[in-house]
Structure 1
Amino acid sequence: MSALEPRLIGTLYRAACLAELDALKPGNVHAYAAGHRMVVADFVTSADVSAPELARAGAGTGERVRAGIAATLAAVAQNTNLGIFLLCAPLAVAAERGLSVGAVLDDLDAADSVAVFAAIRLANPGGLGRAAKHDVAAEAPASLRAAMAEAADRDRIARAYGTGFSDIGLIGLPALAEARAQGLDPSWCTTAIHLAYLRSVPDSHIARKAGASVAEGVRLEVEAVLSGLDLAARPAEPLLALDASLKARGLNPGTSADFTVATLFWDALASAGAALA
């Protein structure tokens, strides 16, 4: 498998973060509209300061996550990218070492667990709550994947650690390929990825904060809005209406946005020669 240079990995990660911000993503912060007390500039700064940590040569998954979150909090004083880092750090390790994502996940060790738990405590993500087993406030377990498995039923990113990031291959990359086949420009291709996640699975960030039934309701709502909608026509008006409605209700599909960045990053790494699957 082809190994990529760390500097290139960092460049591709930053580009994926910025591309996600340029797209109209209902319910999230994007160039069309701010929301949830955050603005695009916060996320641009986060991408800038975290890219070197994401691409730190020789570092493991956990070390990259912890360092990236620390750099982000120092720069913007809020959690803008924990989910992004949890998804993108294993991709960066895989690309640098010339490994598959599955091989990187299989190789996670106790040090990765300690570092990721420290990063989660630093970020203090909304709606995290408490867990009977492997709670982040407690000592980190020896196995990060075991901890992720415990959270898999309530967190789609945690679930990804047990499925080899299958959602990217089953939802994100096919949506991107279809959008490109339709001739959509890059920003609308990104919108297509985000909408594919929104309509395919209940967003677990919404579920953690507002409940599973609300998350499923949003999924059905998105399905209804998208019925008959042609993204090639750049239908900004109905999508901005959905965006405003979600934000007015305090509903942020952040997990879908995180997976959108990871999908763009995966695609860019693969295009550069990384064999991640």
Structure 2
Amino acid sequence: MSDSRPIASRDAPWRVISSATRCRADAVRMACVLEATAPKVGNVHPAARFDDLAYADFVIAAGVTADALGNLKNDDPVGDAIASAVRASVEATGTNVNLGIVLLLAPLVASEPDWSALNESQSAKSFDQRCRQWQARVESLLADVDPQQGAVIAGAISGSSAGGLDDDSLGEDHPLDVNGDVGMSYDILAAMRLASTRDRIARQYAEGYRDLFDVVVPTVRERVDRTGDVLSGIVLAHIELLAAEGDSLIARKCGNQESARVAELARECLAAIDGSDPAQMAGHVRVLDEQLRADGNRFNPGTSADLIAAAVYVLLRVI
């Protein structure tokens, strides 16, 4: 006999989706696909592409990333896993699709608590308590990354030819300008700390993912709760992240002034959305999207999108 009791409204969309993910690899794939499917402003999605990048590339990369990271454990070499995932994505798609997502997901997956092994009292922990437990574990894992694995991570960054990570964009003294031979030893955490004020992914490594768990995850969760729809919630959460501080990929490629301009556009969009009906809301989002696509993909807010993918993974696993 089926259970006809209503599902609690809060987090119901996450419960429905997570019920279809049987393991961490499924959740990695789902998080990547959901992030790419949501029609986020200035990004690739099923109805919008760049000259060199399409939605299918992200779906393919989601699969190979899930294969590379899905079985990671806390004592596995996280650098090797990152390098393997980045290499597999580039080989499968012919381009750098998801470096930021891989950099964010690998430590998360490796440090994730074994939820099935929790005793009854641990299983009863609140959402916030589980997130704090996970954040502490990922911070500890990153602190133990040795220089050899740091060199592997730096090499993966170098080999991906990621946008804005070159001498022209960063300057030769930038800690994350790792293009070229990084040798057999590299203090990746030191580099991430030096870059943390200029790169939001570096900030996660430097600060033990506190920004992800304290800011990004609650933003995505709240927006999905308010809309009742995962994809719509992701779109609005992405705009909210942009409104708060711009996007560090835009800052790397175009400068801090342009990132600040995008943040102001996002704030204007959010202000217009408040109190509007769904049709008007869609119109305001479309205007912002057109503004960010006015010059090719130079104003692609890709770092914020990468953080969304990581937050979705957390929500699929914790709720």
What is the deviation of 1:88? 0.7
Q: Which runs of 5+ in 2 are unaligned?
A: 1-21, 116-133
**Which one of the candidate residues 269, 282, 286 is aligned to 1:240?**
286
What is the deviation of 1:105? 1.3
Aligned partners of 2:218, 2:51: CA distance in 1, in Å? 29
**Which one of the candidate residues 81, 84, 88 is aligned to 2:105?**
88
**Which one of the candidate residues 130, 139, 146 is aligned to 2:190?**
146
Aligned partners of 2:188, 2:144: CA distance in 1, in Å? 10
Q: Taking structure 1 as reference, are residues 184 and 201 closer, same or farther at Cα in structure 2, changes over 3 Å only?
A: same
Partner of residue 129, structure 2: none
**Which one of the candidate residues 24, 30, 33 is aligned to 2:48?**
33
Do 2:273 and 2:284's aligned partners in 1 also have CA atoms closer than 8 Å? no
Considering Cα pairs closer than 8 Å and 6+ residues apart, tell me whether 1 or 2 has the greater RCO: 1
Q: Taking structure 1 as reference, are residues 183 and 245 closer, same or farther at Cα in structure 2, changes over 3 Å only?
A: closer
**Which one of the candidate residues 20, 23, 45 is aligned to 1:8?**
23
1:17 is aligned to 2:17: no
Partner of residue 3, structure 1: none
**4+ residue runs over 4 A deviation:** 96-99
Deviation digits for residues 70-119 of structure 1 (CA, Å, limit 9, x no counterpart): 00111111011000011111001001678611111111112321211111
Paired residue secondary structure (1:220): helix
RMSD: 2.2
Partner of residue 8, structure 2: none
TM-score (norm 1): 0.88
Q: Which amino acid is the alignment partner of residue 155 of structure 1? A: D
Q: Taking structure 1 as reference, are residues 71 and 256 closer, same or farther at Cα in structure 2, changes over 3 Å only?
A: same
**Which one of the candidate residues 203, 222, 227 is aligned to 1:159?**
203
Larger radius of gyration: 2
Aligned partners of 1:192, 1:171: CA distance in 2, in Å? 14
1:45 is aligned to 2:91: no
Partner of residue 251, structure 1: 299
What is the deviation of 1:15? 0.2
Do 2:292 and 2:299's aligned partners in 1 also have CA atoms closer than 8 Å? yes
Q: Which runs of 5+ in 1 are unaligned?
A: 1-6, 272-277
Aligned partners of 1:88, 1:18: CA distance in 2, in Å? 14
Aligned length: 266
**Which one of the candidate residues 70, 77, 81 is aligned to 1:55?**
70
What is the deviation of 1:266? 1.5
